[in-house]
Amino acid sequence: MTSDLTPSSGTPGLSSLDKLPGYSERRTCRFCEGTDLSTILDFGDVPLAGAFLAKDDLDEEVRYPMKVQFCRTCKLVQVTDLISADVLFGNYFYFSSAIQTLREHFRSLANELAEKFSEPGNSLVVEIGCNDGVLLEPLNELGIECVGVDPASNVVASASSELRIVNDCFTETTAKGIYEERGGADVIVSSYSFAHIDDMLDVMRGVKTLLKEDGVLIVEVYYLGVLLDELQYDMIYHEHMSYYSLMALQWLFQRFGMEVFDVQRISLRAGTLRFYARNIGARDEPISPAVADLQAYELERGMDREETYREFGERVHETKIDLIALLDDLKKRGERIIGYGASGRATVIMNYCNIGSQYLDFVVDDAPAKEGFYTPGTHLLIQPWSAAEDDPPSYALLFAWSFIDEVKKRRSSYLKEGGHFIVPLPSPEVVGA
């Protein structure tokens, strides 16, 4: 049984699996390697969420199957339709430094690492998935030796030349290379990149190779519990291969002699958890009560049961109906609507709900790298905000709704002049000044 999460038909692309570039299907769980997997959501054939298109490439767009499966053994929720790193990250469009909220977040994280887990001039911090150096830069300013690892060549190329970045995936081999050059790491940190990696066992072997015996692994991930509670199906796409709960992450860490000793909730991207892990028996800190509290919540929430995820799919379908009804009503009234935020979230919502040119004139985004490209699947032109200023639309469908506070501040004049944002999740809502 699967939920009604199959998108409407659009650009057909390629249909035969053997012709899909970079595609493969995982048949075992990426945490426990078991085969007791159950399909809980099936989106059908969809475009890659971040594969924004040049005009000349619109007719060549490829769609890929996307299923979400639940492992009955270790409880990991995961996408098992895999796209190679070369295809996913060969021309990546996500630049963390373009988002003020993220810059502030990573500066705060750098300060915490300096205060609690590292010593300027005498410590090494390694970041898995460093993007354009948004964390490495404040670490450098604090005098902390740091190395970043990231496979997105175009993003890495935009980082400061003063930063030490290994342009590759983080693997056991990569970790050995850093260890031979720099020695063991006091801290290994990953912000969101754990969701983007298929071979997590290789990553964990790399962590064990590189991390000092008394070192700390810090993992920030979008939390599965928030995805469920707030119906955030727009976070599900090929690039996000795993959806983390504490119970699943504990299962993985225990395989490698590690344990979670603290967890923090962070109000970022509409729901982030920061997990602190260590080698078992290597540090003196007691395990925080927050760990037991989260364990209790997950069991009460039913995050170990298939039924929980099937119910999620049914509720998501209801939000689709409500959003389309709202857009239909606005168009019948003659209102102009644009999209705001050409993100992976936007791709998922637009394709699942079949929101294209019948509703939106175009999509705006504040990242210059996306301007002039077209949205995956729906093929709407991405323009800068200036394109909306001469003749402001009455409504903007806010795909970047997880950054709503920042967007409202940045576009306060638009709201004061009578504009509105449509917030699609967890239920459609119109927001004005």
Under a CB-based contact definition with an 8 Å cutoff, are residues 120 and 114 in contact?
yes
> pLDDT tens, 67-80?
999 999 999 999 99
> pLDDT tens, 231-244?
999 999 998 999 99
The residue with greater pLDDT, 400 or 299, is 299
> pLDDT tens, 159-182?
888 899 999 999 999 999 999 999
Which pLDDT value is given to residue 152? 82
The residue with greater pLDDT, 24 or 102, is 24
pLDDT over threshold 90, residue 269: no
Q: Is residue 6 very low, low, confident or very high in pLDDT (cuts 50, 70, 90)? A: very low
> pLDDT tens, 405-417?
889 999 999 999 9
Which pLDDT value is given to residue 270? 54
> pLDDT tens, 387-399?
999 899 999 999 9
Under a CB-based contact definition with an 8 Å cutoff, are residues 167 and 151 in contact?
yes
Contact residues for 310 (Cβ-Cβ < 8 A; gap 6+): 1, 3, 40
Q: Give the residue from 267, 265, 285, 289 showing the smallest Cα distance to 277.
A: 285
Question: What distance in Å separates the CA atoms of residue 130 and residue 220, rounded to the nearest whole number?
Answer: 13
pLDDT over threshold 70, residue 149: yes
Amino acid in position 45: D
pLDDT over threshold 60, residue 22: yes
Q: Is residue 5 very low, low, confident or very high in pLDDT (cuts 50, 70, 90)? A: very low
pTM of whole model > 0.75? yes
> pLDDT tens, 311-332?
998 999 999 999 999 999 999 9
In the predicted model, what is the mean pLDDT of the chain?
90
CA distances from 176 to 106, 219, 279 (A): 26, 20, 18
Q: Is residue 132 very low, low, confident or very high in pLDDT (cuts 50, 70, 90)? A: confident
The 3-state secondary structure of the chain, one letter per residue: CCCCCCCCCCCCCCCCHHHCCCEEECCCCCCCCCCCEEEEEEEEEEECCCCCECHHHHHHCCEEEEEEEEECCCCCEEECEEECHHHHHCCCCCCHHHCHHHHHHHHHHHHHHHHHHCCCCCCEEEEECCCCCCCHHHHHHCCCEEEEECCCHHHHHCCCCCCCEECCCCCHHHHHHHHHHHCCEEEEEEECHHHHCCCHHHHHHHHHHHEEEEEEEEEEEEEHHHHHHCCCHHHCCCCCCEEECHHHHHHHHHHCCEEEEEEEEECCCCCEEEEEEEECCCCCCCCCHHHHHHHHHHHHHCCCCHHHHHHHHHHHHHHHHHHHHHHHHHHHCCCCEEEECCCHHHHHHHHHCCCCCCCCCCEECCCHHHCCCECCCCCCEEECCHHHHCCCCCEEEECCHHHHHHHHHHCHHHHHCCCEEEECCCCCEEECC
